[in-house]
Amino acid sequence: MKPVALLTPTYGRDLEICTLLCESVDRHVTSFSKHYLLVPDADLPLFAPLASERRVIIPASTFLPDWLRPLPRIIQRKRRQFWWSLRAKPVSGWHVQQLLKIAATITLPHDRYCILDSDIVFFRDFDLAQFEHPNPIPLLTMKNVVTIDQARHSRWLETTHQLLGLKTPPLPADDYIGHIIFWDRQTTSDLAARIEAATGLGWVEALCRTREFSEYLLYGYFVRSDAASAAVHTVVPSTPCVSYWDDPTLSKRELKQLLQGANDHDVAFSIASFSGTPVDTIRAAIAESDAALSPARPVVEPAGLTALC
C-alpha cells in the first residue's frame, strides 16, 4: 500500500490561513505520506517555518518551464502577481496554482494525491488509508449543475472540451469543482498528453494561451472520456467539506452556524478567501468546535465519498 500525498499550492497573502490548514492537518489527518506546499519562489522564507518531517515547501520554479517567469511584484493588478512569457499573455497567480497542481502531480514520486486549497480547515479526523491503491479513487461529479446562467463555468466547459479535443456537451452539464479532491498521477500524465495531442502545443503553453480554464473540469471530463482512467475512479456526489463560496464576511456566530449545519460525515470546511472572513474568527470557531468534540471521537468514512449507484 502506498499512502496518499497532500498537495497545496499557496502564496504569501494566504500564509495565515495556510498555517491554520497545516495545523488542522497535523491534528486531524492521518495515513498520508507527505504534505507539499507549492509556493512562489519569493515566498519561500515566509513558509519555511511550516516545514516539518512530513511537510515540504517547494518553490514554484521547480515545476514551471524556464520560459514562464514571475513579473516583479510592483507590477500587479488587483493585488495579484502575474507570470509572463513570450508565448502567451501574462497569467495570474491563480492560473499558475492550477498549473502547479498538474505539474506536481505528474512530477512528485507518489501515485495518488489529495489536493487541498489553502482555505480548507479540518475539524474532524480524516484517515486517508481508504484511498490507497488498489482502492478506487473518488471522482467528485455533480450532475447537471453547470447551467446557462453561470457564465464563467460555461466558458470553462467550452475551453475544457477544446483542450481535450472533445465536443462541448449541451447545458446543463456536470461539474467537477470542489474541495478535498483526489488525483491519480498516471491519469494526470495522460491528461497532459491528451491536451498536447489535441492542441499541438506543450500542455503548459496550451493552458497559458487558453487562460480561462478549470483544472478540475479538465481532470473530470478527461476521466469521463478515457476508459482506462475511468476504471480506476469511482463517481461520488460530494466531498466531505462544507464550502462557503459567497462574498459577505462571516462573523464568529455565522461561522459556528455553518459548522453546526455540517453533516456527520463532513471533516472540513472552506471559507472563500474573497469573503474577507478574518483568520482569527475562523481559529476561534475551530477552537470551540474542537473543545466540543470528545477526544475519543471515532473516525468516520465521509458519506460524500461513497460511490453513486
Residues 281, 250 contacting (CB under 8 angstroms) = yes
Distances (CA, A) of 117 to 14, 143, 190, 284: 10, 23, 23, 20
Residues whose CB falls within 8 Å of the CB of residue 109, separated by 6 or more in sequence, listed in order: none
CA distance 265 to 304: 8
* Count of the separate structural domains present in the chain: 1
Higher pLDDT, 1 or 276: 276
| 152 has a pLDDT exceeding 60 | yes
Least confident range of 54-63, 220-229, 243-252: 243-252
Ramachandran class of 276: left when φ > 0, alpha when ψ lies in -120 to 50, beta otherwise:
left
Neighbours of 259 (CB within 10 A): 18
Task: Give the residue-averaged pLDDT of 106-121.
Answer: 97
What pLDDT does residue 76 have?
A: 65
pTM of the model: 0.92
CA distance 267 to 263: 9
CA distance 157 to 187: 19
Grid cell in block for residue 201: 502545443
What pLDDT does residue 294 have?
A: 45
What pLDDT does residue 309 have?
A: 30
Task: Give the residue-averaged pLDDT of 207-234.
Answer: 97
Neighbours of 235 (CB within 10 A): 18
CA distance 169 to 146: 11
What pLDDT does residue 268 have?
A: 96
| 275 has a pLDDT exceeding 90 | no
What pLDDT does residue 108 have?
A: 98
What are φ and ψ of residue 118, in 5° steps?
Answer: -60, -30
What pLDDT does residue 296 have?
A: 46
Residues 22, 47 contacting (CB under 8 angstroms) = no
- Give the mean pLDDT of the chain: 91
E strand spans, the chain: 4-9, 29-30, 32-39, 55-59, 69-70, 82-84, 91-92, 112-115, 120-122, 126-127, 137-140, 142-146, 173-175, 181-184, 233-236, 241-244, 268-271
Residue-number span of the structural domain to which 162 is assigned: 4-305
Q: What is the CATH number of the domain that holds 246?
A: 3.90.550.10
Least confident range of 7-21, 192-206, 259-273, 295-309: 295-309
What pLDDT does residue 255 have?
A: 87
Residues whose CB falls within 8 Å of the CB of residue 15, separated by 6 or more in sequence, listed in order: 43, 46, 47
| 273 has a pLDDT exceeding 90 | no
What pLDDT does residue 33 have?
A: 97
Residue with cell 474532524: 124
Entry field: residues in the chain: 309
Confidence band, pLDDT 50/70/90 cuts, at residue 79: low
The pLDDT tens digits of the residues spanning 188-217 come to: 999 999 999 999 999 999 999 998 999 999
CA nearest to 24, candidates 286, 220, 288: 286
